[in-house]
């Protein structure tokens, strides 16, 4: 069960960072919305693990291992670059060198630039529908991680349960950390990318 637990923690890292951003922005995540986020994240992970296990039966394990390493590393690098891009956009915007027009931006772009953009109605409370949109936008890590690990005989059901529990814990801990982060303008989403890369290396050399 160690692999399933580690996998759940890795997948819930983005949830933790999003929760930090929401709490820092004084946006509340009700229990129902937390359930939606955790359920969808664990569902995507389980489905991707099942699909990956199916692929591993028709594709050589060596190919799966290399492909899994490349996928996870690529997602990790993209996540770190996204963090850098967000920081650059914020800096240019604050200097008046860049004009952002949120109302004319697509939802994907909004969520890309700002985790708290899922609060569409600016009610300072994340509804179940808004939570679903946030979970769907952030599902790439869960899917990529699941597809990259299915060949390791990881139990999808146990992983999903652990991911659900870890997600809830991430939201609670993220909320506590968000209190301290309130008022700061730092983007720590690059840590999620670093965690994915570390996990990819761990799985590859294990």
In 3-state terms, what secondary structure has residue 28? strand
More confident residue, 41 or 62: 41
> What confidence score (pLDDT) does residue 32 get?
94
Domain containing 187 equals 2-205
Q: What integer is the mean pLDDT of 172-178?
A: 87
> What tens digit of pLDDT does each residue of 53-85 get?
888 788 787 777 787 788 888 888 887 887 777
Q: What is the mean pLDDT of the chain?
A: 77
pLDDT of residue 99: 47
Q: Which residues contact 72 (CB under 8 A, 6 or more apart)?
A: 144, 145, 148, 196, 197, 199, 200, 203
Judge contact between 81 and 192, C-beta under 8 A: no
92 pLDDT band, cuts 50/70/90, is: low
Q: Are 144 and 50 in contact (CB under 8 A)?
A: no
- pLDDT > 80? residue 16: yes
> pLDDT digits over 5-15, tens only?
888 888 888 88
More confident site: 153 or 115: 153
Task: Kindly report which listed range (113-117, 126-130, 149-153, 191-195) carries the lowest average pLDDT score.
Answer: 113-117
* The total number of structural domains that make up the chain: 1
The rounded radius of gyration (Å) of the Cα atoms in the chain is 17
Three-state SS annotation for 167-179:
HHHHHHHHHHHHH
More confident: 161 or 148: 161
125 forms bridges with which residues in the sheet?
28
Of 54, 5, 14, 51, the residue nearest 136 (C-alpha) = 14
Instruction: Give the residue ranges of DSSP H helices in the chain.
Output: 2-11, 13-24, 31-56, 61-95, 107-113, 128-137, 139-149, 156-181, 190-205
Closest CA to 137 of 9, 73, 44, 71: 44
Write out pLDDT tens, residues 127-158.
Answer: 888 888 888 877 777 777 777 776 667 888 99
């Amino acid at each position: 069960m160690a692999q399933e637990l580690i996998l759940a923690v890795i997948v819930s890292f983005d949830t933790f960072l999003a929760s930090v951003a929401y709490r820092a922005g004084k946006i509340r995540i009700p229990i129902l919305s937390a359930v939606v986020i955790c359920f969808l994240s664990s569902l995507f992970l389980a489905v991707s693990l099942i699909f990956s296990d199916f692929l591993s039966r028709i594709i050589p394990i060596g190919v799966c291992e290399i492909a899994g390493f490349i996928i996870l590393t690529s997602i990790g690098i993209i996540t770190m670059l996204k963090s850098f891009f967000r920081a650059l956009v914020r800096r240019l915007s604050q200097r008046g060198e860049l004009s952002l027009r949120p109302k004319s931006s697509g939802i994907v772009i909004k969520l890309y630039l700002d985790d708290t953009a899922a609060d569409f109605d600016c009610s300072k409370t994340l509804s179940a529908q808004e939570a679903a949109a946030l979970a769907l936008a952030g599902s790439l890590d869960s899917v990529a991680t699941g597809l990259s690990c299915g060949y390791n005989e990881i139990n999808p059901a146990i992983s999903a349960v652990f991911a659900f529990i870890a997600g809830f814990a991430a939201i609670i801990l993220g909320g506590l950390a968000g209190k301290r982060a309130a008022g700061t303008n730092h983007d720590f989403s690059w840590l999620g990318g670093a965690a994915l890369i570390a996990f990819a290396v761990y799985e590859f050399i294990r």
